[in-house]
A and B are shown apart, each in its own frame.
Chain A
Amino acid sequence: DADVTQTPRNRITKTGKRIMLECSQTKGHDRMYWYRQDPGLGLRLIYYSFDVKDINKGEISDGYSVSRQAQAKFSLSLESAIPNQTALYFCATSDFGGWDPSNVDTQYFGPGTRLTVL
């Protein structure tokens, strides 16, 4: 089974609809992240969470919200979807491991959700 799973894998929705993307992980990592990827713009961080009680905005959080339901689950919501939120969305996880420089806190990515907002 995959270590990081995302549901749904593909979603087509209409402007104004509420959408939730879900991420689950079995890696036992404490840190989880949501990114979006657009052609020509690279990966951009939406929100991140270092534990269940910790939620932080990334560089493009407007129009999005998140919920960290458990250590293993991190959901991304679009309260009222708009066409420019059409993108590929990735969840990622990492294990902090401590402050030694050799603990590089590598992020591992889920398979992605392709979201289209019409």
Chain B
Amino acid sequence: QKEVEQNSGPLSVPEGAIASLNCTYSDRGSQSFFWYRQYSGKSPELIMSIYSNGDKEDGRFTAQLNKASQYVSLLIRDSQPSDSATYLCAVKGNNRLAFGKGNQVVVIP
């Protein structure tokens, strides 16, 4: 089992809709969790971090963490064309980050 899994294929959402991304992880000792946004050919940019169970909201973004079920999700409300990017889930454990392969989001105007 891979450490961090993002299984969904490319996600197409209409402008103004909610995009929902999911990520599961294997290490129960994982301490903190991150969502990065990466535009093609650019570096990953931090969107959200979360370390306790529940929801954390920042603007149009909400991260949800459920340690018992070992998943973390990201909701993007009122999706904009500028949200079109690849979203990377990252999980911290043993002093390092493990990354998922990413989910591509395409927002259709």
Enumerate the 10 nearest inter-chain pairs by beta-carbon distance, A residue then B residue, closest first.
A104-B32, A109-B43, A42-B101, A43-B99, A104-B49, A42-B99, A109-B44, A101-B51, A112-B43, A111-B43
Interface residue? A26 (CB, 8 A): no
> Given A43-B99, A102-B51, 20 other A-B contacts at CB below 8 A?
A41-B101, A42-B99, A42-B100, A42-B102, A44-B99, A90-B43, A90-B44, A104-B34, A104-B49, A104-B92, A105-B32, A105-B92, A106-B49, A107-B46, A107-B90, A108-B46, A109-B43, A109-B44, A112-B41, A112-B43
Residues of B within 8 A of A43 (CB): 44, 88, 99
Within 8 A of B (CB), among A12-41: 40-41
A48 to B45, CA, bound (A): 19
Contact A107 B51 (CB under 8 A): no
Give A99 to B42 CA distance when docked, in angstroms: 31
Contact with A along B48-69 (1 / 0, CB 8 A): 0101100000000000000000
**By the criterion of a CB under 8 Å from any partner CB, how many residues of chain A are at the interface?**
23
Q: Which of the listed residues B43, B49, B102 has the most CB atoms from chain A within 10 Å of its own CB?
A: B43
Cβ of B31 < 8 Å from any Cβ of A?
Answer: yes
Contact B42 A104 (CB under 8 A): no
- Is A87 engaged at the interface, CB distance under 8 Å to the other chain? no
Query: Is A45 interfacial (CB-CB < 8 Å)?
Result: yes
